[in-house]
Amino acid sequence: ADADAVHTKMADEAVCIGPAASADSYLRTDRILEAIEQTGAEAVHPGYGFLSENSEFSNMLAERNIKFIGPGAFAINAMGDKIHSKKIASDAKVNTIPGYVGEINNEEELLKVANEIGYPVMIKASAGGGGKGMRIAWSDEEAKQGYRLSKREAAASFGDDTIFVEKFVEDPRHIEIQVLMDSFGNGVYLNERECSIQRRNQKVIEEAPSVAVDPETRKAMGKQALQLAAAVEYQSAGTVEFLMDKHKNFYFLEMNTRLQVEHPITELISQVDLVEQMIRVAAGLPLEMKQNDIGIHGWAIESRVYAEDPYREFLPSTGLLTRYKEPGGADVRVDSGVAEGSEISMFYDPMISKLVTHGPNREAALESMRGALDS
């Protein structure tokens, strides 16, 4: 499905690892290992999805003396389970959302915990991500229904129907801290991104920095993010996600042990190439920067551009991209995997590009974004 894609054509070498369906190609570790052997690759960057947070794949590479450009298996496993990660965060003195740190086994137990915490509550899949397996409940009846739906969705999406419950933070802002750690115990946080504009619990527009985070809160969030990273012996780039209420109280949500889709806005305001730093860390090199070297240079905004049908509740729209023209300019960055004539496949995510603008302040970045989207 992507034999003629932009990234394939840009590559010096390209290897077919199977048919279009990801279950038969990008998720087949055996075929990726064959491609590594065939090309003589010394390292693998896993990207955003597929095997990027798969500890078994990381271990397979280590056994073959191939570098996984990302954190170690211990960190991936520790942060991969939401119940376990919350316990680790609490032990690392990271603020956590009030709730029951353990598995909910039945509806009776759910109602007991929910009433102890107080409604509204958030019912979550422990193995969840991407907004799947999550339900808000404002009453016992909604809690029971949410439990059944979340459990069913979690089993179908992740093969794991473990459920937990925590207090729902009303009117929250989704703030995430980018961290970078090496193998020598050095670490920095590269300030925050705000990802509050979401649809179906999936990010649509992100910006950096956040209008709601003041220097004192930023420092406190950064400190806790580094504490958590150190607790799991993290090496590479990673993101610690928080929910922040209107009083600037913030709570740990999860840690993504990979490069984030929205990493370009952090690169623009920090002037740090995150992928380059991931490669350097994987190569065993120390970070060349200290926390005092990390500043905030202007403002950046990212809009995710999707191939979707607005007349069908924004379901993915597949087919040929008959017309496609990217905006340009010194303050515009487009990370894209398509070109005019590309096929939008049913097998992969319908996001076709990330449109990013940068300016000396938020108003300038927004004005550039408006112009770029309309061009």
Cβ density class 315-347: b for 16+ within 10 Å, e for less: ebeeeeeeeeeebeeebbbeebbbeeebebbee
Question: In this structure, what DSSP letter does residue 65 have?
Answer: T
Could you confirm whether 258 is annotated as catalytic?
A: yes
The answer to whether 304 touches 351, Cβ cutoff 8 Å, is yes
Q: Is 177 exposed, middle or buried (0-12, 13-18, 19+ CB in 10 A)?
A: buried
Query: What's the rounded Cα separation, in Å, for the pair 265 and 205?
Result: 11
- Alpha-carbon gap, residue 258 to 238, rounded angstroms: 5
The answer to whether 46 and 258 have CB atoms below 8 angstroms apart is yes
3-state secondary structure of 63: helix
Of 29, 90, 94, 83, the residue nearest 61 (C-alpha): 29
DSSP three-state, residue 375: coil
Choose, from 173, 258, 304, 333, the residue flagged as catalytic. Answer: 258
Q: Are 355 and 373 in contact (CB under 8 A)?
A: yes
Using CB atoms within 10 Å of the CB of residue 124, give its burial: 0 to 12 exposed, 13 to 18 middle, 19+ buried.
buried
Number of helices (H) and strands (E) in the chain: give both, helices first: 11, 18
Extract the runs of DSSP E, i.e. beta strands, from 169-294: 173-181, 187-199, 202-208, 236-244, 250-256
List active site positions.
258
